[in-house]
Amino acid sequence: MFSGAIAAIVTPFKAGGIDEAGLRSLVEFQIANGTNGIVPCGTTGESPTLSYKEHERVIEVVIEQSAGRVPVIAGTGSNSTQEAISLTAHAKKAGADAALLIAPYYNKPTQEGLYRHFEAVAKAVDIPIIVYNIPGRTAVNIEPATMQRLSKLSNIVGVKESAGSMKQITDIISLCGSDFTVLSGEDFLTFPLLCVGGHGVISVVSNVAPRQMADLCSLFSQGKFEESRKLYYKLLPLLHILFIETNPAPVKAALAMMGKIGSEEVRLPLVTMSEANRERLRQVLEAQGLISEPTGQKRS
């Protein structure tokens, strides 16, 4: 159920608030272009700066607009176990297909603390849970041995692995078995992860190139490895440029250039892209055929 290219969707803002119409339009763009799932309220969705009411509303809107056409994996993590339980319970009630829970950040729990955190949420809310490991943002790494323990809990079904280590990825696959879903949290590792037995990616790049990212994964699953590899290398400049500044500022700038959102607004402490990097981004988008050179309008 959770495989292929799954879009970690942005939260579009308008005059400081949630642009619900813009969010619904982005969901339709994703589904029309073959995305394999949508994740609202992840890192790319700026969950740290959403109020609880906004967080819950974004999840509700994405579920409503998706209308069962693709799986919705709601971001519900927190560095407070009780808050994570509350957000996850809301996601289940709203109709999410699964929950994505980031490792507790700032607290720096031990491996035992990490295990007990996820165990508590899994026991409290009967919904499929994907663990999100991103030590670059949380200051703590979920070790493969801890992931193996977590994989034995019936409703912890997978991991979004963003440590950037192929060794860690292969260790997790080896320890947790083929039934445990391993998704890349780094777009540039999508093809390598597929090669070692991973299942796909929760993707930032899918925001702007959903068809291409879905095709990359689909070609691989069909055994068309060389075609998948060629597409990966074609996309590689895009996979890198969208992280030239802190996510999601670049991807929001790209979506605005493509005419997919009305504003590239991000919330402080994030800021919009510098002009120098914006021009570099524009050049890559043009080279990828996502915008046209003279006007910046999306090509047909």
Three-state SS for 73?
A: strand
3-class state of residue 11 by DSSP: coil
CB 162 within 8 A of CB 147: no
- C-alpha span between 280 and 273 (Å, rounded): 11
**Catalytically annotated residue among 115, 132, 252, 260:** 132
| 81, HSE (Cβ side, Cα atoms, 13 Å) | 13
Tokens standing for 104?
């507790």
CB 97 within 8 A of CB 80: no
The residue annotated as part of the active site, out of 93, 106, 108, 160, is 160
132 in catalytic set: yes
Is residue 108 annotated as part of the catalytic site, yes or no? no
Mapping DSSP to helix (H, G, I), strand (E, B) and coil, where does residue 159 land? strand
CB-based burial of residue 175 (10 Å sphere; 0-12 exposed, 13-18 middle, 19+ buried)? Answer: middle
Angle between helices 225-241 and 210-221 in degrees, nearest 10:
150
Q: Which of 11, 55, 17 is nearest to 261 (CA)?
A: 11
Q: Which residues are catalytic?
A: 132, 160
